Amino acid sequence: MKQWNAISLGVLVGLGSFTFVYAKGYSYLLNDPRTCVNCHVMRDQYDAWQSSSHHTVAVCNDCHTPHALVPKYWVKATNGMRHSAYFTLGNFHEPIRITESNRRVAEHSCVYCHERLVRSIQGHDGSLRCVSCHPRVGHQD
Amino acid sequence: MKENRIHVSLFVVTTLLTIAVVGLLLNIIQRKQEARDRFAHVVPIADLETDPEVWGHNFPDQYDGWKRTAEAYGATEFGGGAHRDKLALNPRLKELYAGYPFSLEYRERRGHARALEDVIGTKRMGDQKPGTCMSCKSSDNVRLWNEIGPEKFFLTPMRELQHQVSHSVSCLNCHDPKTMDLRPANPAFLAAMKNRNIDLAKATRQEMRTYVCAQCHVEYYFETPDRPILHFPWENGLRVEEMERHYDAIGFADWEHPVSGAKMIKAQHPDYELWSTGIHARAGVACADCHMPFRRVGAQKISDHWVRSPLVNVAHACQTCHRQTEEEMKERVVAIQRRTRELMDRSEVAIIAATRAIAQAKEAGAPESALEEARALHRRAQFRWDFVSSENSMGFHSPQEAARLLGEAIDFARQAEITVLQARPGR
């Protein structure tokens, strides 16, 4: 029985590693925006970002993940799980919509860079966001 | 023994995990496959290929969408795909259309794949329909316009033409078979655009996404009953008073109303004209953006050829541009439609009151000059009401314009009524 266990574990690890590499699993740990179009659902957003005002100064992660290390990978992990589940099963709302928590992450990112400019006008209780008036700075779609 | 049990369960767990990983791997392979270009040129498509099934070999997803236009997908509050009997739903229509075939049968329109059977089957004009009636109903028209020319097509009775056609309106009506570029084919539309000095060769693809619809979903008229050549009344412009000016100038009437004696204009389905006055037109939104929104098939984006009411497809039709929820978008549309319907009710009551008042005044011996003045007002009022009523969006294509027209309709109808009331002898 022990030998069988060793063989089956080997098969699992082998197939698992192959799948991980084939699906470019490692790319999700890095910062390249092309990672986000590994799956084609994000294609419109990626294309629109390339022609947006921010494409020279910010990639996907700069706005859509927090800047501290642990929160960054926490957001990556939770979104990664959700996205892969949806993409595998295909049961998601189209056109895709940002979730409330991800919206907050993005809002923080605006302020992270533009704080000196917007410090004095940050009086709103969350009812007005940067993108309420600037919906196209990141990506139009 | 205990150790053995642990080994067996470990084996089972690794096996199940391996199965899961293989499943995931296959799914990933499938998703990667989808991302590749799926277009396959399987058969050549001839220059005048009228059969949508042949096109469908190369464009299966678009063809499937077109086929679904045959479905009765259910009613929306004021339209949708239910083929409702409008005369039964609104008895006032029989009085408004008295003396005209629409008082015999008037149903909610169905989809593109049903167009041909519906025009053949309608009781309106029975077997007396001219070929013109088939202008927007079949892809075989494009071949016939080529072979026998538009004029002969229009002048041949439909009962003769219908043996030469077999496909409902489909691919060839809108697409160039070689390049798949959009190009309208209806000769009346081509002539009308030329009259407006609009060069279709210079039109953008986005404009074409409206123009191919505008070759049919418009206001039109037949030259004369004996010479039913198809024309669009766009010489002076697309607004109601501009078209009315054209009709007045050529002394045109579709029929004489038997109760009031007014020379009437029947509005057809001026979806394009009403849209052209609205906010979506100004923002550059084409018909196809809402009625054939992009849909993801695998990794490909295709325009949905199941053309239908955007209200049953709010996510794709509205939310591509509007960030609000589906419920809110739907509420906005329905609010506009209900207001339009209320104004339409008032218009109908006012027009019927005017019609009856004219008949009664004639009976009572009112002078002909007053009757004529009132009849002219009846013509104006009903054309405006009919423009909104026959249009397919219940005002949504241009809410303010629809409300303006119905406001004028009510006013003209009441003016007609006052005119004859004041002219009755003994006042």
Q: In chain A, positions 77-106, which contact chain B (CB-CB < 8 Å)?
A: 87-88, 93-95, 97
Nearest to B154 by CA among B227, B48, B233: B227
Residues A26 and A60 both lie in one domain:
no
**Residue A53 belongs to some domain of the structure:** yes
Name residue B168's beta-bridge partners.
B138
**Residue A139 belongs to some domain of the structure:** no
Q: Do A8 and B34 touch (CB under 8 A)?
A: no
pLDDT at B202: 95
Has residue B8 got a pLDDT over 90? Answer: no
Residues A35 and A104 both lie in one domain:
yes
Using CA coordinates, name the residue in chain B closest to A141: B320
pTM over 0.90: no
Tens-place pLDDT, residues B124-160: 988 889 999 999 999 999 999 999 999 999 999 999 9
**Vertex B276 angle, CA B270 and B282, to 5°:** 160
Using CA coordinates, name the residue in chain B closest to A38: B32
List the single residue in B4, B29, B315 with the smallest CB-CB distance to A93: B315
pLDDT at B37: 67
List the single residue in B11, B18, B31 with the smallest CB-CB distance to A87: B31
Name the average pLDDT for chain B: 94
Taking the CA of residue A128 and the nearest CA in chain B, the distance in Å comes to 14
Residues A36 and A105 both lie in one domain:
yes
Q: Tell whether B315 is within 8 A of chain A (Cβ).
A: yes
Tens-place pLDDT, residues A8-46: 899 999 999 999 999 899 999 999 999 998 888 888 899
Q: How many domains does chain A have?
A: 2
Residues A47 and A78 both lie in one domain:
yes
- The domain of A10 spans 1-30
Residue A58 — left, alpha, or beta (φ > 0 → left; ψ -120 to 50 → alpha)?
beta
Local confidence band at A131 (pLDDT 50, 70, 90 cut-offs): confident
Residues A56 and A124 both lie in one domain:
yes
Nearest to B383 by CA among B278, B275, B262: B262
Using CA coordinates, name the residue in chain A closest to B9: A5
Residues A17 and A49 both lie in one domain:
no
Taking the CA of residue B143 and the nearest CA in chain A, the distance in Å comes to 39
CA–CA gap between residue B172 and residue B185 (Å, rounded)? 8
Q: Tell whether B324 is within 8 A of chain A (Cβ).
A: no
**Residue A20 belongs to some domain of the structure:** yes
> CA distances (Å), B346 to each of B91, B261, B374, B401, B410, in order?
14, 22, 19, 16, 7
Residue corresponding to tokens 């496909």: B167
List the single residue in B15, B34, B323 with the smallest CB-CB distance to A8: B15
Q: Do A1 and B7 touch (CB under 8 A)?
A: yes
DSSP letter for each residue of A19-51: HHHHTTGGGGGS--GGGGGSSGGGHHHHHHHHT
CA dihedral B301, B307, B311, B317 (to 10 degrees): 20
Taking residues A69-79, report their average pLDDT.
95
Local confidence band at B45 (pLDDT 50, 70, 90 cut-offs): very high
pLDDT at B201: 94
- Decide: B56 and B170 in contact? Cβ < 8 Å: no
Taking residues A130-140, report their average pLDDT.
87
CA–CA gap between residue B258 and residue B55 (Å, rounded)? 49
Specify the range with the lowest mean pLDDT, choosing from B31-40, B168-177, B322-331. Answer: B31-40
Q: Do A19 and B31 touch (CB under 8 A)?
A: no
CA–CA gap between residue A63 and residue B132 (Å, rounded)? 59
- Decide: B322 and B381 in contact? Cβ < 8 Å: no
Nearest to B70 by CA among B167, B213, B177: B167
Interface test mutation site (partner A, options B14, B15, B289, B323, max chain A beta carbons within 10 A): B14
Local confidence band at A124 (pLDDT 50, 70, 90 cut-offs): low
Has residue A1 got a pLDDT over 80? Answer: no
pLDDT at B57: 95
Taking residues B179-183, report their average pLDDT.
94
Residue % of chain B over a pLDDT of 70: 99
ipTM of the predicted assembly exceeds 0.95 = no
Which of A47-51, B8-12, B375-379 holds the top average pLDDT? Answer: B375-379
Specify the range with the lowest mean pLDDT, choosing from A49-58, A62-71, B146-155. Answer: A49-58
Using CA coordinates, name the residue in chain A closest to B30: A88
Local confidence band at B275 (pLDDT 50, 70, 90 cut-offs): very high
Taking the CA of residue A84 and the nearest CA in chain B, the distance in Å comes to 10
Name the average pLDDT for chain A: 89
In this structure, what CATH number is given to the domain that contains residue A119?
1.10.3820.10
List the single residue in A12, A19, A93 with the smallest CB-CB distance to B14: A12
Q: Tell whether B27 is within 8 A of chain A (Cβ).
A: yes
> What three-state secondary structure class fits B352?
helix
Residue B303 sits at φ, ψ, to 5 deg, of -80, 135
pLDDT at B137: 96
Q: Which positions in chain B touch A2 (Cβ < 8 Å)?
A: 7
**Residue A76 belongs to some domain of the structure:** yes
Q: Tell whether B166 is within 8 A of chain A (Cβ).
A: no
**Residue A113 belongs to some domain of the structure:** yes
Has residue B354 got a pLDDT over 80? Answer: yes
Residue % of chain B over a pLDDT of 90: 87
Q: Which positions in chain B touch A106 (Cβ < 8 Å)?
A: none
Interface test mutation site (partner A, options B19, B38, B296, B300, max chain A beta carbons within 10 A): B296
Per-residue tokens: B131: 């070929």
CA–CA gap between residue A73 and residue A51 (Å, rounded)? 27
What distance, in Å, lies between the first and last C-alpha atoms of chain B? Answer: 116
Q: Which positions in chain B touch A19 (Cβ < 8 Å)?
A: 21, 24-25, 28
- Decide: A15 and B22 in contact? Cβ < 8 Å: yes
Residues A113 and A127 both lie in one domain:
yes
**Residue A124 belongs to some domain of the structure:** yes
**Residue A138 belongs to some domain of the structure:** no
Taking residues B35-41, report their average pLDDT.
75
Q: Which positions in chain A touch B18 (Cβ < 8 Å)?
A: 8, 11-12, 15
Taking the CA of residue B109 and the nearest CA in chain A, the distance in Å comes to 29
Q: Which positions in chain A touch B21 (Cβ < 8 Å)?
A: 12, 15-16, 19
Residue corresponding to tokens 């550059």: B284
Q: Do B21 and A16 touch (CB under 8 A)?
A: yes
Helix B326-363 vs helix B399-423: angle between axes, to the nearest 10 degrees?
20
Count CB-CB contacts under 10 A for residue B49.
Answer: 20
Tens-place pLDDT, residues B383-425: 999 999 999 999 999 999 999 999 999 999 999 999 999 998 8
Local confidence band at A123 (pLDDT 50, 70, 90 cut-offs): low
Beta strand residue intervals within B19-143, DSSP E: 74-75, 80-81
CA–CA gap between residue B79 and residue B311 (Å, rounded)? 9
Strands B300-303 and B294-297: antiparallel
Taking residues A83-89, report their average pLDDT.
91
Residues A2 and A39 both lie in one domain:
no
Q: Give kind and range of the element (H or E) at residue B294.
A: strand B294-297
Specify the range with the lowest mean pLDDT, choosing from A127-131, B37-41, B147-151. Answer: B37-41
Q: Do A1 and B4 touch (CB under 8 A)?
A: yes
Taking the CA of residue A112 and the nearest CA in chain B, the distance in Å comes to 25
- Decide: B345 and B377 in contact? Cβ < 8 Å: no
pLDDT at A135: 85
DSSP letter for each residue of B135-153: TTTBTHHHHHHHHT-HHHH
CA dihedral B304, B309, B315, B318 (to 10 degrees): 100
Nearest to A95 by CA among A50, A133, A141, A33: A141
**Residue A80 belongs to some domain of the structure:** yes
Taking residues B225-236, report their average pLDDT.
95
- Decide: B306 and B426 in contact? Cβ < 8 Å: no
Q: Tell whether B12 is within 8 A of chain A (Cβ).
A: no
Counted across chains A and B, CB pairs separated by less than 8 A come out at: 57
Residues A78 and A112 both lie in one domain:
yes
Residue corresponding to tokens 């470990």: B10
Using CA coordinates, name the residue in chain B closest to A20: B25
Residues A17 and A42 both lie in one domain:
no
Residues A11 and A43 both lie in one domain:
no
Residues A38 and A64 both lie in one domain:
yes
